[in-house]
Structure 1
């Protein structure tokens, strides 16, 4: 029996959501990028305004539907729409941003209800450009939160890195998966 599952990718502008979905999708992804016209243009030329969409096809035909949220808070109305029916959240954080821990807290707060009902994995991008904070610093941010998500250094352009994030998320949802 083929199942259809939905994973959400979120994070601040420029963290690699569109790139991650593009690198892992087994079908040409749908992107809703538009020319950046606000302060976002200082980080990149275009920005996601609605969603990114791709599909991973697992051995046996099971499909994982991948949805990327816009990173700008002004498009947050899409966040609730996209998380409906989702099974887990991939939070991508850009290590080169001024305060990636502020971004972490912001997205944990905004998606707290969804995370409570599903699972979370964190991917930190751009660590090759800025090595600090290190992964252990990110782990410390979860002390006392009741959350202990897997946290990885990732290059969103590398299918292997993004696959690891998705696998970790799926294993956290169903630890018995690795026995199959």
Structure 2
């Protein structure tokens, strides 16, 4: 049985391995990654789909600000173990994540992804026409949805990361 739970802190390496398998070695070069670099996912909005011991899928949301006034979330990455694609795991992760985001009071979500896939969740490119990302992006793949409000109606400008920074790692003391 597949279960969706919060991503535990000790799962980071396994999640990174899944993301490498799903997106390949160039995934860190993408514009959306610039908004995640050095940041923690939004609190309570990082999930895994698992069957007990094995992570089968993952999704995370990140705090961003559009221009100077509109707060939103960035969805991604969302990935499913390549051999298990097409079994509804990704749909379940997205539905769960969006429901949790709405329950936590978030009002808008942006992403870079395939519009035919994300359309079923309410994402559309027309909602991002006045919004820009800090790097190149295919405008047809730059999508957004609102979670029960008109947050994006007046939103315009550059998207910037606003989430918590990853804490610095403690330095190891060298033996004398």
The two structures have a TM-score, normalised by structure 2, of 0.30
User: Which structure has the highest helix share of the two?
Assistant: 1
The two structures have a TM-score, normalised by structure 1, of 0.29
Which is higher, the Rg of structure 1 or of structure 2? 2
